[in-house]
Every structure is written in structure tokens, then in C-alpha cells.
Amino acid sequence: MCLAIPMKLVERREFVGTAEIEGVQREIGLALCPEAEIGGFVLVHAGFAIGCIDEEAARETLAALAQIAEEGLS
């Protein structure tokens, strides 16, 4: 099973960028998502942005992942 996490793109340098989630920043590859813009949300899998999504979809996905994690701990 593959899982891609929505992250906000906060910096971009050609085909490399910095994405952030909950204050944690990671360097990611942007070669598969050249249309990604600073301030936008990307789906990150294995260190690469594999698609762009809007902010609403990102927030819904993160909320669902948080709910799954919470239920798995109880």
C-alpha cells in the first residue's frame, strides 16, 4: 500500500523544494510535479511530490489521517 501525505510547498528551487506539515520541513523532489507553486499543496510520497491538490482536499485528507491514527491507538 502506498501513502502520499499532503504538504504545503514553502520554498522552490527548480526541481527541488521544501514542503512543510505541522511545522516539520522536508526537502522534496518536484520533477514529477513541475506545476507546483509556493503556497500550494502537494502530495508527497517517498520524498517526491507526485501531484498537486487544493487546500480543502489537503485539510480533509490530513483530518482523515489524524482520525485513523487516533482510532488505531485506542
Taking only the tens place, the pLDDT of each residue in 27-68 is 999 999 999 999 999 999 999 999 999 999 999 999 999 999
C-alpha to C-alpha distance for 74 and 10, rounded to whole angstroms: 34
Contact by Cβ (8 Å): 28, 41: no
pTM, full prediction: 0.90
| Pairing between β-strand 41-45 and β-strand 16-21 as defined by DSSP bridges | unpaired
Q: CATH number for the domain including 51?
A: 2.30.30.140
Q: Which domain holds residue 31?
A: 5-73
* Total domain count, the chain: 1
pLDDT confidence band for 73 (50 / 70 / 90): low
